[in-house]
Structure 1
Amino acid sequence: MALPRPSSPKALLADLRAFARERRPHQWIAAILAIVMPVVILVGFYLDSRTNIAPGEQLIYVENWRADRTDAEIIAQQKIDQAAKEKRAAERQRQFQKLEKQLGI
C-alpha cells in the first residue's frame, strides 16, 4: 500500500479555502465561540492562580507564667482579666448603641 504524496502549501491553502467557502456564517460564529469560551475560562483560572488569597502572617502573643503559682494567684489574675474583658465588652456595646441612635434603628 503506497503512501500519498506530500501536499504542497498551495494545495493546502486551496483546500482550506474550499472548506471555508462551504461553511455558513453561523457555523463560523459557533466555531469562534467554541474556541474563545475555553480560552477565556483558562485565562480566568490562570489569573486567579496568581492572586494571593492566603491570609497574611499573624502574631499571637502569649503570657508566660511561673510554674510555681498558687491557685489563689491564678484566680486573682483570672478575675483581673475577666474585669478587663467585661470593660471592653461594655465599651463596645456602648459604641454600638451610639451607632444605633445615629442610624435611628
Structure 2
Amino acid sequence: MSFLRSLSPLRAWRDLRRFLALRKPHEIGFMVISFAVTGTILFALYKDAAIPPTYKRDVLYVESWPLSRTDREIIDQQKADLIAEKKRAAELRARQLKRQAEFKRLDDRLERLGI
C-alpha cells in the first residue's frame, strides 16, 4: 500500500510544471503540435467508427405447416416466396448499383485531381 500513498495529483502537477519549465519554447511548441495531430487522428477514428450499419436485420420466423397440406398449396406458397425473394434481390441489386455509382463518382473526382 505504500506505493499508492506516494501517488498524489498535486505532486504530479508540480512535477509536470517543473519538467515543462526546463523545456525550451520550441520543444513545447512541437509537443503541442504532436498532441494536436494525435488528437485529430484519434477523433477521426472515433467519428469513423460511429457510422451506423446500413444493413437491416431481418427476423426469420419459421413457419409450421400441417402434414395434411396438398401439393398445390406447397407450390402456391413456393411461387409467393419466389416473388418476394425476387423483389428482395432486386432491391439489393439497386442498393448495390447506387453504392457503386457513388464510388465511381468519387473515383472520377480523384482521377481529375491526379490521384
Shorter-normalised TM-score: what interval? Answer: 0.3 to 0.5
**Superposition TM-score, scaled by structure 2 size:** 0.38
**Superposition TM-score, scaled by structure 1 size:** 0.41
